[in-house]
Structure 1
């Protein structure tokens, strides 16, 4: 079985695109294929010691899901299924997509909901990311002056995605026990 689980929620497909970019950097022994959380199995999800989780922020700072007008279920519906899982032996890294121009007041807010959910259940969350190079008004996803995970803006800064992704993966590699 692969060492790292890669799960994402999406509405437009951009978060899936980033998940595929991440997966392409790893072989099947290290990382499982990306799985949309609307197709995820709780037992499979909980079986990984290392998790990379992706989420977009929709509308006014919402997780993807039916109440955010997504076409299908997503993080909003999947997280309650994990409420009783102990993640204290797990390491989690989060990446989030947002639009710092169109939604400058809630840039990547949904990352904080994912962060809080897993830290409340004992997970060690790694991969905090600096705010330098971004232009936004407010983000709920800040802790100690950094984003709780990798912030990506494919709408306004798509040219920086690959570079940021490589730097972030190198940053979390040690926490995931990976030679990168």
Structure 2
């Protein structure tokens, strides 16, 4: 059976909480064996990611559009330090879904820019990225994470729109679950 790996970068812990929500929702749909326990990217190596059949990668954006990591005033290593391993990896044929956290009120000119950095690295490494998300329900000035009116992955704002988080996760997973497993897992559907 195929398994999806969920990896995240965080400093405050919010991206970890979202990873747990995504995992719990996926386990209800697919069963426990299909979803690995979410892991902080600073606790793994590239082989851990390559050991999964498909990936969900999450990141917050800090300050003026940067990924978490020590150079960006975080207490621990994170995506910033992991990117060289990811850049050198061959992700050809691997399906990746992305999610990002940002603050559209405090950083409207750099909203979820870090998500684009992650997107650029995984696509350059050959991954097939799924899960683009409509940018219409947000108020921000600019975001590098928008391509053709859509974010490159699910976007959540836990400061301004936290009441929409659970519904957004559920809708996004409806959109990507079949692609994550390319038909190798029969999703458990409610009211089936």
Question: Deviation at 1:28?
Answer: 2.7
Contact 1:42 1:81 in 2 (8 A): yes
Which residue does 2:94 correspond to in 1? 90
Q: Distance in 2 between matches of 1:10 and 1:82?
A: 17
Q: Max radius of gyration: which structure?
A: 2
Matched, 1:4 2:4: yes
Question: What TM-score do the two structures reach when normalised by structure 1?
Answer: 0.96
Q: Distance in 1 between matches of 2:33 and 2:126?
A: 26
Residues matched between the structures, number: 180
Question: Deviation at 1:115?
Answer: 0.4
Give a deviation string over 1:29-53, Cα, whole Å, max 9, x none: 1110000000012211111121000
Moved over 4 A (4+): none
Which residue does 1:136 correspond to in 2? 140
2:61 to 48, 57, 63: 57
Which residue does 1:125 correspond to in 2? 129
Q: Distance in 1 between matches of 2:38 and 2:32?
A: 11
Report the more deviating stretch, 4-13 or 18-27: 18-27
* Higher percent of residues as helix: 2
Which residue does 2:15 correspond to in 1? 15
Which residue does 1:169 correspond to in 2? 173
Matched, 1:34 2:35: no
Higher normalized contact order (CA 8 Å, seq sep 6+, divided by chain length): 2
- Structure 2: gaps of 5 or more residues: none
Question: What TM-score do the two structures reach when normalised by structure 2?
Answer: 0.90
Question: Deviation at 1:2?
Answer: 5.8
Question: Deviation at 1:23?
Answer: 1.1
